[in-house]
Homo-oligomer: A and B are copies of this chain.
Amino acid sequence: MLELGGNVLGFSEANSSSTAKGESVADTVRVVGAYADIIAMRHPKEGAPLVAAQKSIVPVINAGDGGHNHPTQTLTDLLTISCEKGRLDNLCIGLCGDLKFGRTVHSLITAMSRYKNIKLVLISPKELKTPEYIKQDIIEKNKIEYIETNDIEEYIDKLDILYMTRVQKERFFDEADYIRFKDYYILNKEKLKNAKQDLTIMHPLPRVNEISVDVDDDPRAAYFRQVKYGKYIRMALILKMLEV
């Protein structure tokens, strides 16, 4: 936003005076809309940005609502794939980590289902497998070929893209489960030895241990470039919404 010559107002913070006094999301966006030209809302409650968008007089960007959606992350992922591979179709995409709760993964699968000849390799421990509703309603309905495995190396030589994800503590009720799964996959140089030379390794960041730092200098590591793509796509989205 700043690069566009605009400014950022910090509203809606968890402990800010108005929300702590019990103000509703609907009231907050009407008040903020009197000051701002656009609202980017990150909210712990699913659906809050939808309510906001219905009540606001200025455009509202959903910047993540609880375990639900995070649309600008998915736009970032699409721009990254498009720029790194030069195409959005004819791709074999490995998705690795927490495929059960990972909202970025569910959104990316949904987005990629619109393109031709996509193949998916779903890599997760069996307790964190892709939910049935994603498999039935998105993957199978769109006749996308897919394989499930818990071994990150088994199909690594087939992949055009490897999308790593973090196991997120807040998605688990039981901390022991979190500790068991958090270091289940650690991508390192050794595991990449059979991978394609033009593999693109992505990660929504922040990473914890899922990718060893010895991978950072590999030209296939695209996750820091992904941040730049994220900035550009959000700049584009703001311009689009402001009809500049």
Contact = CB atoms under 8 A, between A and B. Distances in A.
A26 B205 contact: no
Contacts of A228: 34
Nearest to A26: B213
Given A7-B2, A213-B26, A18 B205 contact: yes
A207 B2 contact: no
Given A2-B9, A208-B23, A30 B213 contact: no
Q: Which of A10, A21, A28, A168 has the most CB of B within 10 A?
A: A21
Contacts of A35: 227, 231
B9 A206 contact: no
A168 B9 CA distance: 26
Nearest to A203: B27
A12 to B, nearest CB: 12
A123 B228 CA distance: 52
Interface string A169-206: 10000000000000000000000000000000000011
Contacts of A10: 10
B227 A34 contact: yes
A166 B205 contact: no
A229 to B, nearest CB: 9
A31 interface: yes
Nearest to A226: B34
Contacts of A224: 30-31, 34
A31 B227 contact: yes
Contacts of A230: 34
Interface of A: 2, 7, 9-10, 17-19, 21-23, 26-28, 30-31, 34-35, 166, 168-169, 205-208, 213, 224, 227-228, 230-231
